[in-house]
Amino acid sequence: MTPGFALLALAAILVWIALIVWLASWIILRLRARYGWKLLDWRTVLIPFAVLTAAIHLGNFALDWLGSEVGGNGGVPVGYPNAFLIGSVAIGVGIAVVRGLRR
């Protein structure tokens, strides 16, 4: 791996985590405003995690399906998202909760 590629990968990871944190913060803010739940209520933490995890699974399914259709391999099984994607949701929701506590 060249240093340029490593820097590009690091930048992409930071942008991805920032996007997940922003989305989780947005969902938490809407839940708290609509239902009046406290920041550390289990529903306020679980719902953004579940929604973002479902979105990653749906996106992964769509990319696998599109890749199999474009590539001509109609029988390609759908894969499970890698651990980085699921872990990034846990990190992002955790950071969003900590940011909410600091406000």
Q: Write a three-state SS string for the chain.
A: CCHHHHHHHHHHHHHHHHHHHHHHHHHHHHHHHHHCCCCCCHHHHHHHHHHHHHHHHHHHHHHHHHHHHHHCCCCCCCCCCCHHHHHHHHHHHHHHHHHHHHC
pLDDT over threshold 90, residue 71: no
Of 48, 36, 26, 35, which is closest to residue 100 (Cα–Cα)?
A: 26
Q: Average pLDDT in the 90-97 region?
A: 94
Tens-place pLDDT, residues 5-56: 989 999 999 999 999 999 999 999 999 999 999 999 999 999 999 999 999 9
20, part of any domain:
no
Estimate to the nearest angstrom the gap between the alpha carbon of 28 and the chain centroid. Answer: 14
- Does residue 16 lie in a domain region? no
Indicate whether 64 belongs to any domain.
yes
Q: Is residue 14 part of a domain?
A: no
What is the amino acid identity at position 10? L
Question: 83: which DSSP letter?
Answer: H
For residue 75, name the pLDDT band (cuts at 50, 70, 90): low
Say if 92 falls within a structural domain.
Answer: yes
Secondary element (H or E) of residue 38: none
Domain count, the chain: 1
pLDDT the model gives residue 82:
81
Residue 7 falls inside a structural domain: no
Domain membership flag for residue 10: no
Q: Is residue 28 part of a domain?
A: no
**Structural domain harbouring 97:** 39-103
